[in-house]
Structure 1
Amino acid sequence: MSLNKEYIKKNFKQKLTSMFAEDINELNKYQYFEALSSVIKDYISKCVKNTNKYYLKSKQKQVYYFSMEFLIGRLLESNLINLGIRDICKDALSELGINLDEVLQAESDAGLGNGGLGRLAACFLDSMASIGIPGHGCGIRYKYGLFEQKIKNGYQVEVPDNWLKNGYVWETRKSEKSVIVKFGGDVQLINENGKLKAIHQNYEPILAVPYDIPVVGYKNNIVNNLRLWSAETIDKDFDFSSFSNGDYLKAVEYKYSVESITQVLYPDDSTEKGKLLRLKQEYFFVSAGLQSIIRRYEKMKLSLDSLDKYIAIHINDTHPSVAIAELMRILIDEKSMSWDEAWRITTNITAYTNHTILTEALEKWPVDMFKKLLPRIYMIIEEINRRFCAKVFDKFNGDLNKVNKMSIISNNNINMAYLSIVGSHSVNGVAKLHTRILKKQELKDFFEFYPDKFNNKTNGITHRRWLIQSNPKLTDLINELIGEKWIKHPLELKNLEGFSNDKSIQDKFQHVKYQNKINLSNFIKQKYNIDVDPDSIFDVQAKRLHAYKRQVLNILNILDLYNRLIENPNLDIIPRTFIFGAKASPGYFLAKQIIKLINSAADKINNDRSIKDKIKVVFLENYDVSLAQKLIPAADISEQISTASKEASGTGNMKFMMNGAITIATLDGANIEIKDAVGNDNIIIFGLTANEVIDLYKNKNYHSRDIFNSDQRVNKILTQLTNGFLGVSNYEFNSIYDNLLFNNDEYFVLKDFAPYVEAQNRINNLYRDKNKWNKMSILNIANSGVFSSDNTITKYANEIWHINKIDFNNKLLEEN
């Protein structure tokens, strides 16, 4: 079956009729989107069937990627590109008087993630399917996303992200594949034929219902699966007796209690109830996912003793780490396997990616809460810990201090990162620096104990989403210069280097960037009524709002530049547009105040005519995947200014680089590897190194007040935060002021301020030389292929999962 123009037109019109029973001219863009997506999904479903049939028949080893987040963005255009039919669809709809680009904009972003962790998982799934790795995602079908961000009077306001209000065309409910997840209850161990057997009683059963979303590979007929689990009641949605007696709330109370498990991404865990709900979420999708995997495996009629030869489980950060104990439970309690055999299989199957250097971010659960909610799982973790501590005791010659430091259970908490390390055969960091810090500092004891487990896999991004889909003009230019081989082999982008000195080619790249800047300028004007000059430098910082990412350093530099312009409106600088995109966690007060500071500065600066529009500040509301796809292709400068040693990797840095932005960065995370790829002349580095930061923490010889007292610029800016200069109360930004001075500036914002200002001045000078700047931009694009997630996933497959790529060679496209 060929997805040609006539097929698409015919089936599209049929879908419109069957779905809406209206004349084509009476329908809106969203209805066009639903009908077209439905046509494409019908075709994809045949590929799903063929892919699964092949995996089952050939007994392929498969990897299951467990993650709390999958920030997949809009899927229609991505699927059209990967099927190789975007232009065909555009022509087909055009002949019906419909603009495909407008239809694509009707799709909502799926509310399944927050930031880098979730987007990484989405990129990885795309790459697995595109390079032929049998790999699937396992997560939660959240009814509401993290939140939709509104900016009211400069403040972040959170409103529900009801992304499922119109349904979700790409998902398929699989009720027949539902499983039961058990919470609470009592567990007794009895002796049966000389073996201990666990009897779990009085538990609360929750029905886990799977919803499957296809993951389409690039032009290879492979479609893998993202399975998301929804919590439902087993047989009692509605208490009719209570309703009849007038107790209407009680009638539906149980249903809502159960459904709350998959209601919201990341419930506020600052309360006991929030913590409990978060723990329920984690066990819910892990237990459901593992039960489903075992059931599918058993269909192949293979022995459970060989489970590790056919299945790989990857834990994306610690959220799914309870999978280790849950897999042990299934193998021991349900499959009657011995502890030693179950442990061999579990550790061979499981691999763990650590995503954080921040010790406070390593997940821990209170023993009392965990034990009550998951009594059998707690017993298994206790036994894992007992056996592990005995090995530590032996290895380190009875050093009890070492045992206490490394114990999975300590101080009435369960350390989930430690469980992940002990129960996995591989532990990887996500950038070379990150992995080095894990080995030498944060997880030093475990590295000493398990030196062969630790390895590095630097993060990556899918170039199909972040270049081909996001930046079609740049894609066309690259294809014109080096052909299309790079799409399947992204390292081929390196061939662009040969054009970097060609003035006529530089002009073409500059023209593409300028067109993207015009598009973003028009969007900003339409949405925010702010005029921004596409001839100005577009300086962008777009990422989650956190103190260590140092958006506050950026805004302090902007205020310093503003002060210089107030003193001298004729200051010779290239006009600059500073653009921010960021969400702050609802309970993170300091981060939300930084958003207010950015917006207050924007109001002040954007309305000051005396500075002649030389700088503008824009905060883009509700930053998500679709907004990133508008923003990133237009950026001239990529702000990657986290405190060195704090950012595990970053992936935004890679997306901006791939679209020709120049990175201003600290030597943190993957910034170091970007520098190594492009060379010192094509990136702007400033600030403290990781070793210098670590030494400052260790020696405690940094005093932020010294800089406040010695640097007049810093003194002036910080004073302006508290004297009404920004048109707000003198007390509005006390939390930021206190954090920098009275809390001694934990992330060394003031320490790096002067080097950062100097680096910004270098940008101003570099941009004046258009040939130099355009050459830098081309060289960044040319060297970005190494950061394709295709390369990253190839390394995971070869070095951690031990899974081979498959090649359909079109042999599965049988008509059915």
Structure 2
Amino acid sequence: MTAHDPSHATTVAALKSEVQRRLTYTIGKDNASASPRDWFVATALAARDRLVESWLASTKRNYVEDRRRVYYLSLEFLVGRILIDTLTNLGLTAAMRDALAELGVDLEKLREVEPDAALGNGGLGRLAACFMDSMATLDIAAMGYGIRYDHGLFRQTIKDGWQHEYPEDWLSFGNAWQFPRPEITYDVGFGGHVESARLADGMLAHVWVPAETIVAVAYDTPVVGWRGRHVNTLRLWSARAPDPLRLDAFNQGDHVGALTEQVRAEAISKVLYPSDATPAGQELRLRQEYFFAAASLQDLVRRHMKQSGDIRKLADKVAIQLNDTHPAIGVAELMRLLVDVHGVDWTEAWRITQATFSYTNHTLLPEALETWPVWLMEKLLPRHMQIIYLINAMHLDGLRAQGVSDANVLAAVSLIDEHHGRAVRMGHLAFLGSHKVNGVSALHSELVKETVFRDFHRLYPDRIVNKTNGVTFRRWLLEANPALSGLLAETIGPAVFDDPTKLVELERFADDEAFQHRFMAAKRANKDRLAATIFDSVAVRVDPAALFDVQIKRIHEYKRQLLNVLEAVALYLDIVAQPARDFPPRVKIFAGKAAASYHQAKLIIKLANDVAQVVNADPAARGLLKIVFLPNYNVSLAEKIIPAADLSEQISTAGMEASGTGNMKFALNGALTIGTLDGANVEIRERVGDDNIFIFGLTAQQVEESRARGIDARETIATSPRLAAALDAIARGMFSPDDKHRYAQLVDTLTYYDHFLVTKDFDSYCAAQRRVDARWRDTKAWTRAAILNTARVAWFSSDRTIREYAEEIWKVEA
């Protein structure tokens, strides 16, 4: 539909009227007094109105056709801004832009007014958002379940180079996209005791009597698929106290004490990932996880009983996907509901549970495979602890009956870790309670079999499968990069947005000089925009003609932002020492948040900012190297950075990054990857070709072999003059003149205990960066490689990933 179509004019007129009506009758403002936020809310509500009929129709069809349903349980949904996403999927972006223009309002400015829904930390939550989009696009009857955090992940500011955390206030002006459902509530219990009674048939029944009850209240957000044909629901739970105010205490003058129960209850949905550095923080984390799993399971069981009336048919009509171990307590909760509430015998209940659940593993890091102290589980969830004990006993007895007698093997697959103060292994519970367990890249899935679930894999060799992650091209190309999207539509046709496999047709233009020029012009427009954002954010002027070298992700030692900073220091020292040498101009761009209690990650942020301050101000650097750290990384910032990137840094220690999805978004937008053979980098290389990616460093197997030989790096440092010089500059305070010993411990750790093998990969990384320099100097060769990256990554669509889940795990039709 174009601006010259009569239907376009009709749609524009209708949208203009709808926005105006919402501004007047919902917001209660006239055009003259309306603020940009008022206009945003009016526009969002008008867009929301357009999808409600389809939403209701989709919901009704799910019931009428008695469709098998998918429930996606995730502690994170990093959905970002919703306005442009909704308009894009409804095909209304151009019409809404024109309608607002007639009202004197700029849609792009409204886009900036919308807050990010900060309901996630990074890749896990962003993947969940992409999957929700793809499930709607593929017409799968699905619902996402999570928590409606009041503040989500913290808002990051950088002061004097240090990260500071503040509450994220994304709900301070309400949420135009959600539908409160105060009539949909569930009681979630904690603590108390379990009573047993002998039934008339001689069976023993258990009744959990909680000491505390929290009310889960539903809030629904419609998730519209491409072309608006199907709409699913994201249901988020908010915690409330049953009696928000103790009136007797209030009237006696204890105004604060009267609200104690309310504060304790609402803490559950107050903040994403509260620090678990204290016992109270650890307890809150477990309360969060059980709260949302219990409410979600009660809700989906209620829906199933309403539709089928037979709890024993649950696995025939329902598939539940556990996104990481956070919702794993749901396995024990479903057993409780089946056995204690619905009277299903244990054996049948376990069959139903295993057939219903499947589990996605996202990490090989031990600290991310959750465990909970047995004492804490017994205190908060006494009935669930009984159920877990019984699941474990029957599991181990069954293995013994099959001839498994090795005590070490039985201890390794036990749900209870007896070696570290007795703890429940939630990854083990998720594995045992699921019929399928998947990794998220080919390499990761193989490592899952060889490492964290090695013994389980030997016992259940058909349970682990691979489902390589994907991203929604609609958001990360069509919305984030309209310049490139327009060029693609003009060159190979708009059908590419319906079928990403058509991107391969771009290959025939890779050597076309005119197309190369237009491709890089689109990239330059994005770089100009990012350069303006950088100046507005951190007051650093960067040259858009320089190579934009980008690493944006959660700050963690295994992701090795430190390796990038060390190479930047080495490059800076070379530039200063060799004024006659021709260095291609480069801008290193960092963004990402460190967990509030992760001191080493926060120190790496400080180092990056300290190095940036020295390098950017040094006239001897001649502007050939600039370094910027952009604060408060979120989806909206990523949408500006990714289309502008020339080089994508994917440099984790091999064998430690499960998949990554940023690597896919960068390649889709024509950035070349520099990376280790880790996560989905392996599959990206297979598709874009060795000549169009810069691979360096140890493989996963070599990492293990190197660690086995020891992680003392003194010998490695001694054989690398550039590494030694960079470490020495940092250690002696070149970048921290106010505190020359600030990074002494960091350098000592790299020297004597380099677990993440930063030093081991340093020379290989530097050599790869010099190959980047050489390719960058050859503009035609670089542009050709960039075009081929875009042309060859269609396989990394989340639509493909979800089709695989649907066919091979959930058994639903897509």
Structure-1-length-normalised TM-score: 0.97
Amino acid corresponding to residue 107 of structure 1 in structure 2: E
Q: Equivalent residue for 1:808?
A: none
Q: Which runs of 5+ in 2 are unaligned?
A: 1-6
Q: Is contact 1:644-1:689 (8 Å) kept?
A: yes
Q: Equivalent residue for 1:623?
A: 633
Structure 1 CA distance, aligned partners of 2:783 and 2:602?
A: 36
1:573-652 correspondence runs (5 A): 573-652=583-662
Post-superposition CA distance 1:136-160 (Å, at most 9, x none): 1100000111100000000000011
Amino acid corresponding to residue 652 of structure 1 in structure 2: G
Amino acid corresponding to residue 333 of structure 1 in structure 2: D
Structure 1 CA distance, aligned partners of 2:719 and 2:281?
A: 45
Q: Which runs of 5+ in 1 are unaligned?
A: 806-816
Q: Equivalent residue for 1:734?
A: 744
1:94 is aligned, of 101, 106, 126, to 101
Amino acid corresponding to residue 197 of structure 1 in structure 2: A
Q: Equivalent residue for 1:267?
A: 274
Where 2:400 maps in the other structure, the secondary structure is: helix
1:226 is aligned, of 222, 234, 246, to 234
Q: Equivalent residue for 1:209?
A: 217
Q: What is the CA-CA distance between 1:202 and the residue it aligns to? A: 4.6
- Residues 1:542 and 2:549 aligned together: no
Structure 1 CA distance, aligned partners of 2:314 and 2:369?
A: 30
Amino acid corresponding to residue 207 of structure 1 in structure 2: V
Structure 1 CA distance, aligned partners of 2:795 and 2:561?
A: 28
Name the CA shift for 1:735/1:44 in 2 (closer, same or farther; >3 Å). Answer: farther
Amino acid corresponding to residue 726 of structure 2 in structure 1: I
Q: Is contact 1:146-1:264 (8 Å) kept?
A: yes
- Residues 1:175 and 2:182 aligned together: yes
- Residues 1:304 and 2:314 aligned together: no
- Residues 1:504 and 2:511 aligned together: no
1:264-343 correspondence runs (5 A): 264-343=271-350
Structure 2 CA distance, aligned partners of 1:508 and 1:558?
A: 31
Where 2:298 maps in the other structure, the secondary structure is: helix
Where 1:31 maps in the other structure, the secondary structure is: helix
- Residues 1:751 and 2:760 aligned together: yes
Amino acid corresponding to residue 615 of structure 2 in structure 1: I
Amino acid corresponding to residue 762 of structure 1 in structure 2: R
Post-superposition CA distance 1:160-192 (Å, at most 9, x none): 111111111111111111111111111022210
Where 1:539 maps in the other structure, the secondary structure is: strand
Amino acid corresponding to residue 350 of structure 1 in structure 2: F
- Residues 1:255 and 2:265 aligned together: no
Structure 2 CA distance, aligned partners of 1:443 and 1:480?
A: 49
Structure 1 CA distance, aligned partners of 2:331 and 2:523?
A: 48
Structure 2 CA distance, aligned partners of 1:253 and 1:622?
A: 32
Where 2:582 maps in the other structure, the secondary structure is: coil
Q: What is the CA-CA distance between 1:203 and the residue it aligns to? A: 2.5
- The alignment covers a number of residue pairs equal to 802
Q: Is contact 1:590-1:735 (8 Å) kept?
A: no
2:166 is aligned, of 145, 159, 163, to 159
Structure 2 CA distance, aligned partners of 1:736 and 1:724?
A: 12
Q: What is the CA-CA distance between 1:730 and the residue it aligns to? A: 1.6
Deviating more after overlay: 662-671 vs 721-730: 721-730
- Residues 1:710 and 2:703 aligned together: no
Q: Equivalent residue for 2:796?
A: 787
Structure 2 CA distance, aligned partners of 1:160 and 1:397?
A: 51
Q: What is the CA-CA distance between 1:711 and the residue it aligns to? A: 2.0
Q: What is the CA-CA distance between 1:696 and the residue it aligns to? A: 1.7
Q: Equivalent residue for 2:71?
A: 64
Post-superposition CA distance 1:91-118 (Å, at most 9, x none): 1111111111111111000121110000
Where 1:24 maps in the other structure, the secondary structure is: coil
Q: Equivalent residue for 2:367?
A: 360
- Residues 1:564 and 2:571 aligned together: no
- Residues 1:721 and 2:715 aligned together: no
Structure 2 CA distance, aligned partners of 1:543 and 1:496?
A: 29
Q: What is the CA-CA distance between 1:20 and the residue it aligns to? A: 3.4
Q: What is the CA-CA distance between 1:519 and the residue it aligns to? A: 0.6
Amino acid corresponding to residue 644 of structure 1 in structure 2: A
Deviating more after overlay: 387-396 vs 125-134: 387-396
Post-superposition CA distance 1:353-379 (Å, at most 9, x none): 000011232100000000110011111
1:636-715 correspondence runs (5 A): 636-697=646-707, 699-715=708-724
1:797-808 correspondence runs (5 A): 797-805=806-814
Q: What is the CA-CA distance between 1:701 and the residue it aligns to? A: 3.9
Q: Equivalent residue for 2:393?
A: 386
Where 1:64 maps in the other structure, the secondary structure is: strand
Structure-2-length-normalised TM-score: 0.97
Q: Is contact 1:314-1:350 (8 Å) kept?
A: yes
1:370-385 correspondence runs (5 A): 370-385=377-392
Structure 2 CA distance, aligned partners of 1:106 and 1:100?
A: 10
1:401-440 correspondence runs (5 A): 401-411=408-418, 412-440=422-450
Structure 2 CA distance, aligned partners of 1:131 and 1:661?
A: 28
- Residues 1:762 and 2:805 aligned together: no
Amino acid corresponding to residue 61 of structure 2 in structure 1: Y
Q: Equivalent residue for 2:498?
A: 488
Name the CA shift for 1:403/1:570 in 2 (closer, same or farther; >3 Å). Answer: same
Structure 1 CA distance, aligned partners of 2:715 and 2:321?
A: 47
Structure 1 CA distance, aligned partners of 2:710 and 2:311?
A: 57
Q: Is contact 2:537-2:630 (8 Å) kept?
A: no
Amino acid corresponding to residue 224 of structure 1 in structure 2: N
Where 2:551 maps in the other structure, the secondary structure is: strand
Amino acid corresponding to residue 460 of structure 1 in structure 2: G
Structure 1 CA distance, aligned partners of 2:402 and 2:547?
A: 58
- Residues 1:84 and 2:91 aligned together: yes
Q: Is contact 1:396-1:402 (8 Å) kept?
A: no
Structure 2 CA distance, aligned partners of 1:58 and 1:570?
A: 74
Where 2:760 maps in the other structure, the secondary structure is: coil
Where 2:628 maps in the other structure, the secondary structure is: strand
Where 2:76 maps in the other structure, the secondary structure is: coil
Q: What is the CA-CA distance between 1:702 and the residue it aligns to? A: 4.4
Amino acid corresponding to residue 539 of structure 1 in structure 2: D
Q: What is the CA-CA distance between 1:393 and the residue it aligns to? A: 2.1
Structure 1 CA distance, aligned partners of 2:555 and 2:471?
A: 21
Structure 2 CA distance, aligned partners of 1:369 and 1:527?
A: 44
**Percent same amino acid among aligned pairs?**
43
Post-superposition CA distance 1:448-498 (Å, at most 9, x none): 011111100001100011111100110011111111222121111111111
2:207 is aligned, of 190, 199, 209, to 199
Deviating more after overlay: 31-40 vs 702-711: 702-711
- Residues 1:106 and 2:113 aligned together: yes
Where 2:208 maps in the other structure, the secondary structure is: strand
Q: Equivalent residue for 1:28?
A: 35
Q: Is contact 2:118-2:634 (8 Å) kept?
A: no
Structure 1 CA distance, aligned partners of 2:173 and 2:194?
A: 43
Structure 2 CA distance, aligned partners of 1:756 and 1:137?
A: 40
Where 2:80 maps in the other structure, the secondary structure is: coil
Post-superposition CA distance 1:516-569 (Å, at most 9, x none): 101111111122211100010000000000000000000000000110111122
Structure 2 CA distance, aligned partners of 1:307 and 1:725?
A: 64
Q: What is the CA-CA distance between 1:594 and the residue it aligns to? A: 0.2
Deviating more after overlay: 199-208 vs 769-778: 199-208
Name the CA shift for 1:701/1:261 in 2 (closer, same or farther; >3 Å). Answer: closer
Amino acid corresponding to residue 555 of structure 2 in structure 1: L
Where 1:71 maps in the other structure, the secondary structure is: strand
Structure 1 CA distance, aligned partners of 2:239 and 2:576?
A: 58
Structure 2 CA distance, aligned partners of 1:475 and 1:367?
A: 53
